[in-house]
Amino acid sequence: MISAFNTVGRLVSGFGSLENLGAEIRRLKGTKALVISDPGIKATGLLDPLIRVLDRTKLSYSLFAEVEPDPQIEVALASHAAAQAFGPDLIIGLGGGSSMDIAKVTSVMLTNPGPIDKYFGMELVPEPGLPLILIPTTAGTGSEMTSICVLSDTRNQVKKGIVSEHMFARVALLDPQLTVSLPPRATATTGMDALVHAMESYTGVRATVLTDTLNLQAIRMIAANLRRAYANGDNREARENMLFASCLAGMAFSNTQNGLDHALALAIGGKFHLPHGLLTAFILPWVMEFNLQAVPHKFIQIAQAFGERTDGVPEVEAARLSVKAIKSLLNDLDIFYKLGEYDVPRQEIPALAKAAIGAARLIMNNPRKVTEREIIQLLEANY
Ligand SMILES: [Fe+2]
């Protein structure tokens, strides 16, 4: 298989690394920055240190803090309009996946004529965007490391992706201090999203030696740190390790895409607005059970990363220990893994299966070939 590997050009990391933002902007010869974020980030005061740093740099900047969770296409258009009015030469995205995704798409919309519809899909954006600096405030989406932007098409009740190498950040800035105040529930769900990225990328058909290396390390770090970060958000070491793990997984899955778990998460999330990390988390054990016989050796590695003893256990049984480990993790994080718990009506299952199978970018990377009928069975079995 011929494969290519792309990633972000520069990573700046460590507690307090936000202080380096001014120097990074100057490196990129930025003079006028548009900061893209969301009202939640603004309300919790996480924008304040960024504003302080920008004020010190004496650069001109403007703020668009109106990104909502599961951003709709209209949010991207509003952000683009704000950018056009201000005329920046650099874009900064600060927040979770939603804010960073909107920052990415805004940077390319400024240099590529609309309508935005023609860019949904793989590598359909012709021109590079404005220089982009991404700063995550959750350890989960890995969006700072990917070339993917996911938007909600509310008219058709689906989530759609734009994938373009022109949406890679010029700099990803990882300051774990920004993740310390994240509440336990969001720590758990975003951390699980990072784990699902690593697992879907690791077990997927597009996996390479490079992505395996990143993903296995990410899985090990999450296995060792997610419970700690959930139990005590002030654990700086756990926070830092989770942020790095999320980054490693993002670096990998940007090159492989995800799999059936994300196809289902986007299908369910398009209709029922549950947090993305929660969706990917509760779907995970079902998809693992379905997929494990396609690549049992990889699921054995996952089981071992979670401390399961696989010596002397027959192959498929050893692989199945990974599902046991994930269910134990979900129990500890207080995440239920039955679809019926989440107010999704049973009669919606066929429509959800249809939407999931339509996400070709994701389904094509799934290690086990899957049909619409099998997805229906999977959802029924785990309702
Ligand atoms: Fe995800």
Task: For residue range 251-271, list pLDDT tens digits in order.
Answer: 999 999 999 999 999 999 989
> How far is ligand 1, taken at its centre, from the CA of residue 193, in Å?
5
Which pLDDT value is given to residue 159?
83
Which pLDDT value is given to residue 58?
84
> How far is ligand 1, taken at its centre, from the CA of residue 225, in Å?
19
Q: Is the pLDDT of residue 240 over 90?
A: yes
Q: ∠ at Cα 363 (255, 4), nearest 5°?
A: 20
Task: For residue range 322-366, list pLDDT tens digits in order.
Answer: 999 999 999 999 999 999 999 999 999 999 999 999 999 899 999
Nearest to 88 by CA among 109, 62, 108, 64: 62
| pLDDT (mean) for 235-260 | 97
> How far is ligand 1, taken at its centre, from the CA of residue 71, in Å?
14
Task: For residue range 100-138, list pLDDT tens digits in order.
Answer: 999 999 999 999 998 999 999 999 999 999 999 999 999
Whether the CB-CB separation of 266 and 158 falls below 8 Å is answered with yes
Which pLDDT value is given to residue 23?
96
Q: How many residues does the chain have?
A: 383
Per-residue b or e along 174-196, where b marks 16 or more CB atoms closer than 10 Å to that residue's CB: bbbbbbbebeeebbbbbbbbbbb
> How far is ligand 1, taken at its centre, from the CA of residue 314, in Å?
32
> How far is ligand 1, taken at its centre, from the CA of residue 181, in Å?
21
Q: Is the pLDDT of residue 215 over 90?
A: yes
> How far is ligand 1, taken at its centre, from the CA of residue 94, in Å?
17
Q: Is the pLDDT of residue 373 over 90?
A: yes
> How far is ligand 1, taken at its centre, from the CA of residue 150, in Å?
10
Which pLDDT value is given to residue 156?
83
**Torsion angles phi and psi, residue 170, rounded to 5:** -75, -35
Task: For residue range 39-98, list pLDDT tens digits in order.
Answer: 999 999 999 999 999 999 989 999 999 999 889 999 999 999 999 999 999 999 999 999
Task: For residue range 278-330, list pLDDT tens digits in order.
Answer: 999 999 999 999 999 999 999 999 999 999 999 999 999 999 999 999 999 99
**Residue-range domains of the chain with CATH:** 11-179 (3.40.50.1970), 184-381 (1.20.1090.10)
Task: Concatenate the DSSP letters of all residues of 235-285 into one string.
Answer: -HHHHHHHHHHHHHHHHHHHHH---HHHHHHHHHHHHS---HHHHHHHHHH
Mean pLDDT across the chain: 96
> How far is ligand 1, taken at its centre, from the CA of residue 190, in Å?
8
Which pLDDT value is given to residue 99?
97
> How far is ligand 1, taken at its centre, from the CA of residue 287, in Å?
14
Residue 23, CA distances (Å) to 11, 35, 59, 208 in order: 13, 16, 11, 35
Task: For residue range 127-186, list pLDDT tens digits in order.
Answer: 999 999 999 999 999 999 999 999 998 888 888 899 999 999 999 999 999 999 999 999
End-to-end CA distance of the chain: 37
Task: For residue range 1-18, list pLDDT tens digits in order.
Answer: 899 999 999 999 999 999
